[in-house]
Amino acid sequence: MDLFLENNDYHYELEKLCRLFYPMQRIRVFEKGAAPADPDPMCITAHFRDGTASVTFQTPQGTSVSESSCEDASDAERTLAVLLWRFLQKESGFTPQWGILTGIRPVKLLRRLAERFGEAEAAGRLLEDYLVSPQKVALARETLHNESAVLSKEKENGCSVYVGIPFCPTRCAYCSFVSTTVEKTMRLIPAYLDCLCREIAAAGAVAKDLGLSVQSVYIGGGTPTTLSASQLSRLLAAIRCAFDLSACLEYTVEAGRPDTVTREKLQVLHENGVTRVSINPQTMHDDVLEAIGRRHTTAQTLAAFALAREAGFQNINMDLIAGLPRDTYEGFCDSVRQVLALSPESVTVHTLALKRASRIYQEHEEKAARLSGAVATDMLRFADQTLLAEGFLPYYLYRQSRILGGLENVGFAKPGNENFYNTVIMDESQTILACGAGAGTKVVAPDGSGRLKRVFNFKYPYEYIHRHEEVLARKEQVRELYAAFCR
């Protein structure tokens, strides 16, 4: 598909909208006047001038033009997106349930609109101006209410701490994350851990100097439980030494891959104050696990969950993914039921995203992606209804690019077990001090203005280790950015 932009620079948004309809297709964007040597059979021109938005569609079947007046130039992007959406919906036969929204945080948009216009009008705007389906508007409103209760715990000088362990036992077929398999890079872990402990100490000094109070700690990845019990013990001690955790509401460690979970590691976590672990089956069917390259079994998931309970964890999350290869609607429903039979405190229901760097992306084609999207829609509906019936409530929600069916990922929790870190990261309302390769610190102005700056670490463990002095210098940048927000 070729997309031409005339008199507007909405490249990013309009391209993402095209990708929502055609996730596997090549989409090229050109400025006005460009003449590609190999024009695509489907060509779209988005044009804005003198209060009129127009979109011209050329396909092998003919040419059509849609226009809409738009007196407010600040609304030109949305108006063009609506015209484009209507055409692509007709052309593809697919109706994205989140309408023209392509961003990852629809609930944040609803919150901002609700602050300006009140919640009822904000919901009406999502329906009419952004073409979001009534079901998704209802889900966004429900999530907004539950998320607000969690966000109300935020302190003005609060912050959260993220620590990344970018190692996994094997690479999942759907993963595009910068994770490095242990098989290849086991030798990097000791040096990585040394550097990580130094960075944690530097981040702790920044928090202390700025008077930040740590409200949550999240150790994610990758798979943190790829580390041995003694390495985990060292990491947790470094965190305890660096930060005052007396006001910490929760402490999470992703024990994502059941094949990395042992009794000893769980004991180390529990004894060191970790309050929540995530054990992620993704599916409760071994044939599907095999298809996605997870190299663990459902029996291992059950065993890991039992070990976590025995170790004393009262707050366990489990992740599932809708739309996995080889999975079926019935299989997914069965996975939901099996997970619920274990009575976890929270369940996060993801939808498969066809990330470009993943193996799965190479194996999918447009038609298969469309069909998987339709099945994933049914799967999410089942999960949503079943979890609500079991007393779980949605409390955070996000979307990813190339997610099947343009759907979403939703965190459900039994009341009182919502994860604070997940909500602040989605609302971008709190400073997150992030440590580790690929981690990004978010510096958020404490005055509620929404001002935000990001400071990124190097992506790959090798660079992170070998350029560690630069990593530490960037922690000083964090200090300066936050101090500047306070002036």
Residues engaged in binding ligand SF4 (CB under 6 A): 168, 171-172, 175, 177, 179, 221-223, 256-257
Rounded-to-integer distance, Cα 39 and Cα 438, Å: 38
Report in angstroms how near the CB of residue 52 gets to ligand SF4 at its nearest: 46
**Contact predicate 221/260, CB 8 Å:** no
**Contact predicate 353/104, CB 8 Å:** no
Look up residue 101 and give its two tokens: 């929204």
Cα angle vertex 407, ends 403, 411, to 5°?
Answer: 100
Rounded-to-integer distance, Cα 381 and Cα 362, Å: 28
User: Nearer Cβ to ligand SF4, position 23 or 221?
Assistant: 221
Report in angstroms how near the CB of residue 102 gets to ligand SF4 at its nearest: 23
Report in angstroms how near the CB of residue 177 gets to ligand SF4 at its nearest: 4
Phi, psi of 134 (to 5 degrees): -55, -35
Report in angstroms how near the CB of residue 175 gets to ligand SF4 at its nearest: 3
Report in angstroms how near the CB of residue 294 gets to ligand SF4 at its nearest: 7
Rounded-to-integer distance, Cα 380 and Cα 410, Å: 9
Report in angstroms how near the CB of residue 335 gets to ligand SF4 at its nearest: 17
Phi, psi of 303 (to 5 degrees): -65, -40
User: Nearer Cβ to ligand SF4, position 180 or 429?
Assistant: 180
CB-based contacts of 484: which residues, under 8 Å, 6+ apart?
none
User: Nearer Cβ to ligand SF4, position 102 or 260?
Assistant: 260
Rounded-to-integer distance, Cα 380 and Cα 38, Å: 40
Rounded-to-integer distance, Cα 70 and Cα 49, Å: 9
**Contact predicate 164/208, CB 8 Å:** no
**Measured at CB, which residue is nearest to ligand SF4?**
175
User: Nearer Cβ to ligand SF4, position 141 or 257?
Assistant: 257
- 213 by Cβ neighbours in 10 Å (0-12 / 13-18 / 19+) ranks as middle
Report in angstroms how near the CB of residue 16 gets to ligand SF4 at its nearest: 23
**Contact predicate 141/124, CB 8 Å:** no
Report in angstroms how near the CB of residue 321 gets to ligand SF4 at its nearest: 9
**Contact predicate 323/335, CB 8 Å:** no
User: Nearer Cβ to ligand SF4, position 337 or 459?
Assistant: 459
**Listed residue (337, 324, 261, 323) closest to 289, CA to CA:** 324
User: Nearer Cβ to ligand SF4, position 290 or 366?
Assistant: 290
User: Nearer Cβ to ligand SF4, position 175 or 320?
Assistant: 175
User: Nearer Cβ to ligand SF4, position 24 or 178?
Assistant: 178
Using only the alpha carbons of the chain, give its radius of gyration. Answer: 23
Look up residue 211 and give its two tokens: 């008077």
**Contact predicate 324/292, CB 8 Å:** yes
Report in angstroms how near the CB of residue 222 gets to ligand SF4 at its nearest: 5
User: Nearer Cβ to ligand SF4, position 121 or 363?
Assistant: 363
Report in angstroms how near the CB of residue 171 gets to ligand SF4 at its nearest: 5
User: Nearer Cβ to ligand SF4, position 124 or 325?
Assistant: 325
Strands 62-69 and 316-322: unpaired
**Listed residue (284, 228, 223, 290) closest to 254, CA to CA:** 223
